[in-house]
């Protein structure tokens, strides 16, 4: 799983999720899954344990952001779930990120959210009262994350290449905001196709609605894998 494509399981409950996952039963390799706040807050840790028991690679996207001690303890609890990836917000700062790294255990990778892909440059300038450009802001947050020992970032594909150049090739660059040509952007402001994301230096993709809202989710997933080159 060196260049994972995570399907974002943005579903309200376990039942809907399992009936969606059944469609993928015939594939030779199980898809990697992203469990976000909606599903986690509805079904909790037991459901994550169940998905792990079934052999799925899990990216738990809880975007932790709190005081350093609280985040450190939360990361230690989540590490016991044996998930492969977890998100924290880079904007939580160095001390918070250090606590996260200290408590993550040996196997789980931490990804730092830089700027949400639903944010445009104007949005961040207004909300965060800054004159920084999107690229400056993302790069600054990525660098803070890198300095503290975080494994990689979540950013739009539009910043992935810059992060690769300014930080290094091995720092992971996972990119949401992925749409197949012709799909709706929904609430995402910075979208890219899987092929473009690959060309722009992404090392992993998160895809939700282009798969989950498709008439044929398995076909959409396979199209994405083909474009992505897995
Ligand atoms: O449906 P769509 O492909 O837009 O879903 C993207 C997923 O990636 C959602 O689950 C969202 O929470 C997540 N995400 C994001 N932008 C980030 C971090 C995570 O869209 N910066």
The residue contributing the CA closest to ligand 1 atom 13 is 176
Annotated active-site positions, please?
63
Task: Name the residue ranges covered by the structural domains of the chain.
Answer: 5-228
The tokens of 200 are what? 């722009």
pLDDT, mean over the chain: 96
What pLDDT does 137 receive? 96
The predicted structure's pLDDT at residue 98: 98
What digits encode the pLDDT tens for the residues 141-167? 999 999 999 999 999 898 999 999 999
Phi-psi region of 138 (alpha: psi -120 to 50; beta: other; left: phi over 0): alpha
pLDDT at 183 over 90: no
For residue 230, name the pLDDT band (cuts at 50, 70, 90).
Answer: low
Q: Structurally, what CATH architecture does the domain formed by 5-228 represent?
A: Alpha-Beta Barrel (3.20)
Nearest residue by C-alpha to atom 10 in ligand 1: 8
Ligand 1 neighbour 114 (Cβ under 6 A): no
Which residue's CA is minimally distant from atom 5 of ligand 1? Answer: 208
pLDDT tens-digit readout, 51-97: 999 999 999 999 999 999 999 999 999 999 999 999 999 999 999 99
Confidence (pLDDT) at 39: 98
Q: Are 187 and 118 in contact (CB under 8 A)?
A: yes
Query: What average pLDDT does the segment 101-125 reach?
Result: 95
What pLDDT score was predicted for residue 203?
A: 97
pLDDT in tens, 193-208: 999 999 999 999 999 9
Instruction: Give me the pLDDT at residue 1, please.
Output: 64
pLDDT for res 23: 98
Q: How far is the CA of 1 from the centre of ligand 1 (A)?
A: 20
């Amino acid at each position: 799983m060196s260049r994972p494509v995570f399907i974002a399981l943005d579903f309200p409950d376990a039942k809907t999720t399992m009936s969606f996952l059944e469609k993928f039963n015939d594939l030779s390799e199980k898809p990697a899954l992203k469990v976000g706040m909606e599903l986690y807050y509805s079904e909790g840790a037991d459901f994550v344990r169940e998905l792990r028991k079934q052999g799925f690679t899990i990216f738990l996207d809880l975007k932790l952001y709190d005081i350093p001690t609280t985040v450190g303890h939360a990361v230690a609890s989540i590490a016991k779930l044996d998930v492969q990836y977890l998100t924290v917000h880079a904007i939580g700062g160095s001390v918070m990120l250090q606590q996260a790294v200290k408590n993550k255990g040996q196997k789980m990778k931490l990804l730092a959210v830089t700027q949400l892909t639903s944010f445009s440059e104007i949005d961040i300038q207004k909300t965060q009262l800054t004159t920084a450009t999107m690229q400056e802001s993302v790069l600054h947050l990525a660098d803070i994350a890198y300095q503290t020992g975080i494994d990689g970032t979540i950013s739009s594909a539009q910043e992935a290449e810059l992060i690769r150049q300014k930080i290094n090739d091995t720092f992971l660059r996972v990119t949401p905001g992925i749409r197949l040509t012709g799909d709706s952007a929904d609430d995402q402001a910075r979208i890219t196709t899987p092929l473009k994301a690959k060309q722009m230096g992404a090392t992993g993709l998160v895809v939700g609605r282009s798969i989950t809202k498709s008439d044929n989710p398995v076909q959409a997933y396979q199209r994405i894998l083909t474009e992505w080159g897995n």
